[in-house]
Amino acid sequence: MKETNKDKEIFMATGRRKEAVARVRFIPKGKGKIVINGRDIEKYFSTIDNRMQVKKALVVTELQGKVDILANTDGGGVGGQAGAVSLGISRCLVEWNPQLRALLRREDLLTRDPRAKERKKYGRKGARRSFQWTKR
């Protein structure tokens, strides 16, 4: 979805991973700021792995430091939210420039990871773990 605010183009997309949902806004003419839930990426994601996952789409397309990203995430854990933001950024990039689709697809950044938590079964402690067996 494209939104214009007085000559300012903003591209929006949604990313999902596990239980996490991220609504991402992409501003092409920016200074390289990445803000997640009102906080800087360095403060929001404490581990380098999560930060690299979020920035991977920008690094692959060589746009790091040239565009602004604003994201609101909800649900899930920190790792799921990083994956959701990454997918949202990739979808925004494709909406902004459809020629980037092949590059992002090659890096597997446009595929939603379908893995989710398996449901708990009756007679079991979790999804698969059974209760401790006692002989006597």
- Could you give the domains of the chain? 2-106 (3.30.230.10)
**Residue 100 scores a pLDDT above 80:** yes
One-letter identity of residue 85? V
Q: What is the pLDDT of residues 14-27, one digit of tens each?
A: 999 999 999 999 99
Q: How much is the average pLDDT of 93-121?
A: 93
pLDDT attached to residue 4: 56
The mean predicted confidence, pLDDT, of the chain is: 91
**Residue 52 scores a pLDDT above 80:** yes
One-letter identity of residue 27? I
Alpha helix ranges (H) inside 78-135 = 78-96, 101-106
